[in-house]
Structure 1
Amino acid sequence: MPSILIVGTGAIGAIYGWRLSQSAQVTTVCRSNYSVVQEHGFSIDSKKFGQEVFRPYRVVRTVTEAVEANGSTPFDYILVTLKALPDMYSTTDIIGPAVTPGKTTIVLLQNGLGVEEPVVAQFPTNPLVSIVAYIGTSQTSPGHILMVGGEYLVVGNYLASKVDNTAQRQLLLDLFEKGGVTFTAEDDVERIRWQKLFWNAAFSSVCTLTGMNTTEVLNNKAGLDGVKSVMKEMILTANAMGYDFDVESQMDAMIKGSATNVPNYKPSMQLDYERKQQMEVEVILGTPLRRAKAKGMAVPYLELIYNLCSAANARNLLHNTSSLGTLLPRTSFSISDVGDQIRNYFVTLRRQTLLPLFSSLFFHSSPPLTTIQPLSIMTTVRALNDDEVFNEMKKMVAFIKQEALEKAREIKVKADEEFNIEKAKIVRQESLNIEAVFERKIKQAEVQKRISQSNHINKARLRTLQEREHVLDDLFEETRGRTQQLDKDESGYSDLLNKLVLQGAYTLMESDLAIRCREQDVDKVKDAANYAKEHFEQTLKSALNITIGDDYLPSSNAGGVVLTGLKGKIVVDNTLEARLEIVKEDMLPQLRVILFGHSPSRKFFN
């Protein structure tokens, strides 16, 4: 069964992870919804697929945790459903620990243009599958997924990737089919991404900046003009990249389709802005803008809308963080530039819209501004009466009150912003402290676990060694008992004594030797002494004198002899007990191997 790691398991990741789990082993990386999903799974309510609780094979907090939990087995697929925010984080750095070079297939299910570029650069030997999704789903609360309509995927090739993904893409399509997912396969996914951007770049940005939904924008002439201007420049940019889209037909289809298919709809960029979350400005507007400029194109509407949305993104980021230095790390404009463009925009808006409007109000028509005649100047001067003085005072009081209210609102707004910044700073610091304590306790627990495990292993090793020593002691004790029976064999024991005495003589190489033996072995030792003397003199041509002392060995000894030379200064102990100890020392390694086998940790045997 294929193993799939889903990184960024929000609404889209949960839906498609659920469908893939029908025939694959799915691990999900969850962050804010981790606790709920770990305990209860995903509670999914889908108009197309029905209601069900989806419990992934494994739920983890990080990609590294997923890799550790999966052991030495690499993932077959990594499905990336993260929001595409290249100015905030690196997708390749996040998924990197789980990517096995040449093995893992990376599947990108993200918005925008150019999301594949860093993946191909970072992982040039891995198969890549790029997907464009058309789906209406959201996570209403942690672990609760609502899918309001149908869904549709375009699964395609990214032509800049040189790794053949045919087999991997077909297996993925089979998994989607088994899960009931609607899809088509395309050879050039970037063409589809451009088509989706025609709508997304135009409607998402205008809806975000005006606060209107799609229907309100379509019914507002200025708003619709803005949509058309941005959309036209997007289509022209795509054609400059080598495509052949018809500008008018594409715009007509997008606008008519919006009125029919997505009435009163708020795009995801607009929802992110309202929730004060980061918008996918770079991949929806930034990448097309940079490609247009690289082609030497003038796209003033796209550039303006990009700068305005980037400024809105910066404001939201400022609202959510205490560090101004982190704002817009990859944008190519300054806050003052954005301010100049905003001022120019509203100056133009005032000239083109407000002045004609005031003109129509005063003149009940729309004459050119140059036809407005100044009012004739009044030349009579008189004193104000009481009513007029009172009215002027009322106006002055109202003006002062209005100024005071505006100043109060300004102070409140500034105080709220400072409060939110300070609160965010405190919350972040406390979160870091809690994470640090948590990590320290985890490390302590891991250390204790390893110490305990090591102690158990050492105790087991010691018990094993003790048992082995007991076995060897029993073996030698049994052997020692059997040596006590050797003297029962008269012939064999006599022959053994002959050899022991002769070996001792050869070892000492002295002419006068003294022998100690057991009292009951005296006769046999005399015979052995004669045997040794005869062979010694015959071999070495040297006389040998052997005497048997009356300082006998204990009768409890198993047998054998002790030879001494140089008046007791040199001793050769050839008792059976001594010979057994020599055998024990020499044969102990071989006995260990015979009885217990080779040690698995031993590498060398010579």
Structure 2
Amino acid sequence: MESFSDRTYAILGTGALGGFYGSRLQKAGADVHFLLHSDYEHVNKHGLVIESKDGDFTLPDVRAYDDVQKMPPCDVVIVAFKTTHNHLLPKLLPSVVKDDGVVLVLQNGLGVEDEVAEIVGDKRVMGGLCFLCSNKVGPGHIRHLDYGEVKFAEYAIGYNSQGITTRMCQIAADFDRAGIPIKLAADLLLARWQKLVWNIPYNGLSVVLDARTDELMGNTHTRALVEELMWEVAAGAKSCDRIIADSFIEMMLDWTVKMKPYRTSMKIDYDEKRPLEVETMFGNPLRLAQQKGANLPKITMLYQQLKFLDARNSH
């Protein structure tokens, strides 16, 4: 077993995703610093508890912070909170990322790296896509149900493909040592559109139809609707000169049928009356595709329905 690099990690948003990946990194020997909000007191006293299909574990001692100014500058800063909190990024990022460090954006949707690049510069940004079924079930308590793969890609202005870089491989090696399945992608824009193939139908329909993934796949009408939405996402990608293969759509459908019944992250946010990630997950891809001349009527309708439900839910 190789020892860990001397790279330091900051986790901004220690929830279902940041808490899970950060804990795995620390358990494997990495130097990890966690920014917390509501769970700070609890985690500072009791640490983090991970229930996982790959084995449960507890980290009694974690470097927990309630103020980003108290955190040391780190080599890799992982942004793991929901995009509805991205207005906080200009306050959070400048002090916590080293001059030669990188911000790894593990968020859903499209266009999120652009916001980060405006704060830290475009050379210090990477995107990551998480295929993870994980929920926070209590303060500092995370339940990992299924999957867990992360796909990394370098960011560039205009989302031009950057290929596989040395720093991607270095960070991937740390994740690999932590037992986190990793893929490296040469093209971030393609990877983001591919993730939307899953996120747009399942997150959107789960809220609008009040349904879990297994219910959406178990009914012939909603299964057909899921598939039609996936084809629209592929049309959006094509408008940006990114091709999503038919086999990829088949794989996503097949994958979801085999998945444990899952309440999507957007459905959980809706049920908990939290703001929904409508703009990054639906609005941004729609606007980009429309600028390129693509018409995506079903996604447009879903976007409009979600905007209504999100507004009504926040009163």
1:98 partner amino acid: V
Q: Is the 2:79–2:105 Cα contact (8 Å) retained in structure 1?
A: yes
Q: Is the 1:103–1:126 Cα contact (8 Å) retained in structure 2?
A: no
Distance of 1:62 and 1:240 partners within structure 2: 42
1:218 partner amino acid: M
Distance of 2:251 and 2:51 partners within structure 1: 31
Closer, same or farther in 2 for the Cα pair 1:250/1:181, shift >3 Å?
Answer: closer
Q: What's the counterpart of residue 39 of structure 1? A: 45
Closer, same or farther in 2 for the Cα pair 1:148/1:254, shift >3 Å?
Answer: closer
Equivalent in 95, 112, 117 of residue 120 of structure 1? 117
SS of equivalent residue, structure 2 residue 87? coil
SS of equivalent residue, structure 2 residue 201? helix
Q: Is the 2:22–2:32 Cα contact (8 Å) retained in structure 1?
A: yes
RMSD of the alignment, in Å? 2.4
Report the structure, 1 or 2, having the larger strand content.
2
2:87 partner amino acid: Y
1:29 partner amino acid: L
Q: Is the 2:190–2:243 Cα contact (8 Å) retained in structure 1?
A: no
Q: What's the counterpart of residue 136 of structure 1? A: 133
Q: What's the counterpart of residue 297 of structure 1? A: 294
Equivalent in 19, 25, 34 of residue 24 of structure 2? 19
Distance of 1:149 and 1:215 partners within structure 2: 14
Q: Is the 2:213–2:262 Cα contact (8 Å) retained in structure 1?
A: yes
Which structure carries more relative contact order (alpha carbon 8 Å, separation 6+)?
2
Distance of 2:193 and 2:255 partners within structure 1: 17
Equivalent in 253, 269, 280 of residue 255 of structure 1? 253
Q: Answer yes or no: is 1:51 the counterpart of 2:60.
A: no
Q: What's the counterpart of residue 201 of structure 2? A: 202
2:204 partner amino acid: S
Q: What's the counterpart of residue 107 of structure 2? A: 110
Q: How does 1:292-441 map to 2 (within 5 A)?
A: 292-318=289-315
1:31 partner amino acid: H
2:215 partner amino acid: E
Number of positions where the alignment pairs a residue of Structure 1 with one of Structure 2: 307
Closer, same or farther in 2 for the Cα pair 1:54/1:315, shift >3 Å?
Answer: farther
Q: Which one has the largest radius of gyration?
A: 1
Q: Is the 1:127–1:165 Cα contact (8 Å) retained in structure 2?
A: no
Q: What's the counterpart of residue 271 of structure 1? A: 268
Q: State the shift of 1:63 in Å.
A: 1.3
Q: State the shift of 1:165 in Å.
A: 8.8
2:136 partner amino acid: Q
Distance of 1:146 and 1:104 partners within structure 2: 30
Q: Is the 2:117–2:124 Cα contact (8 Å) retained in structure 1?
A: no
**Which piece of structure 1 moves more, 207-216 or 218-227?**
218-227
Q: State the shift of 1:19 in Å.
A: 2.2
Report the structure, 1 or 2, having the larger helix content.
1
Q: What's the counterpart of residue 288 of structure 1? A: 285
Distance of 1:152 and 1:107 partners within structure 2: 15
Closer, same or farther in 2 for the Cα pair 1:15/1:121, shift >3 Å?
Answer: same
Distance of 1:23 and 1:263 partners within structure 2: 30
1:110 partner amino acid: Q
1:170 partner amino acid: C
5+ residue gaps, structure 2: 1-5
Q: What's the counterpart of residue 66 of structure 2? A: 61
Distance of 1:7 and 1:24 partners within structure 2: 16
Q: Is the 2:163–2:186 Cα contact (8 Å) retained in structure 1?
A: no
Closer, same or farther in 2 for the Cα pair 1:180/1:221, shift >3 Å?
Answer: closer
Q: State the shift of 1:85 in Å.
A: 2.0
Q: Answer yes or no: is 1:189 the counterpart of 2:188.
A: yes
Q: Is the 1:34–1:61 Cα contact (8 Å) retained in structure 2?
A: yes
Q: Is the 1:135–1:150 Cα contact (8 Å) retained in structure 2?
A: yes
Closer, same or farther in 2 for the Cα pair 1:264/1:182, shift >3 Å?
Answer: closer
* 1:250-299 Cα deviation digits (max 9, x unpaired): 4443333322x225322111121111112211111111110111012222
Q: How does 1:509-548 map to 2 (within 5 A)?
A: none
Distance of 1:50 and 1:279 partners within structure 2: 30
Q: Answer yes or no: is 1:76 the counterpart of 2:82.
A: no
Q: State the shift of 1:116 in Å.
A: 0.8
Q: Is the 2:273–2:313 Cα contact (8 Å) retained in structure 1?
A: yes
Q: Is the 2:207–2:270 Cα contact (8 Å) retained in structure 1?
A: yes
SS of equivalent residue, structure 1 residue 104? strand
Q: How does 1:500-511 map to 2 (within 5 A)?
A: none
5+ residue gaps, structure 1: 319-606
Q: What's the counterpart of residue 155 of structure 1? A: 152
Q: What's the counterpart of residue 171 of structure 2? A: 172
* 1:105-133 Cα deviation digits (max 9, x unpaired): 11111112221111223222642222111
Q: Is the 2:23–2:59 Cα contact (8 Å) retained in structure 1?
A: no
Q: Is the 1:127–1:164 Cα contact (8 Å) retained in structure 2?
A: no
Q: Is the 2:75–2:97 Cα contact (8 Å) retained in structure 1?
A: no
Distance of 2:283 and 2:298 partners within structure 1: 13
Q: State the shift of 1:23 in Å.
A: 3.1
Distance of 1:214 and 1:281 partners within structure 2: 19
Q: Answer yes or no: is 1:5 the counterpart of 2:10.
A: yes
Q: Is the 2:47–2:58 Cα contact (8 Å) retained in structure 1?
A: no
Equivalent in 5, 29, 35 of residue 29 of structure 1? 35
Closer, same or farther in 2 for the Cα pair 1:23/1:53, shift >3 Å?
Answer: closer
Distance of 1:298 and 1:167 partners within structure 2: 38
1:194 partner amino acid: W
SS of equivalent residue, structure 1 residue 18? helix
Closer, same or farther in 2 for the Cα pair 1:258/1:30, shift >3 Å?
Answer: same
Distance of 1:19 and 1:253 partners within structure 2: 27
Q: Is the 2:239–2:293 Cα contact (8 Å) retained in structure 1?
A: no
Could you state the TM-score of these two structures normalised by the residue count of structure 1?
0.48
Q: How does 1:444-483 map to 2 (within 5 A)?
A: none
Q: State the shift of 1:26 in Å.
A: 1.1
Q: Is the 1:20–1:175 Cα contact (8 Å) retained in structure 2?
A: yes
SS of equivalent residue, structure 1 residue 191? helix
Q: What's the counterpart of residue 96 of structure 1? A: 94
Identical pairs, percent: 27
* 1:402-440 Cα deviation digits (max 9, x unpaired): xxxxxxxxxxxxxxxxxxxxxxxxxxxxxxxxxxxxxxx
Q: Is the 2:153–2:164 Cα contact (8 Å) retained in structure 1?
A: no
Q: State the shift of 1:90 in Å.
A: 4.3
Q: Is the 1:44–1:146 Cα contact (8 Å) retained in structure 2?
A: yes
**Which piece of structure 1 moves more, 232-241 or 221-230?**
221-230
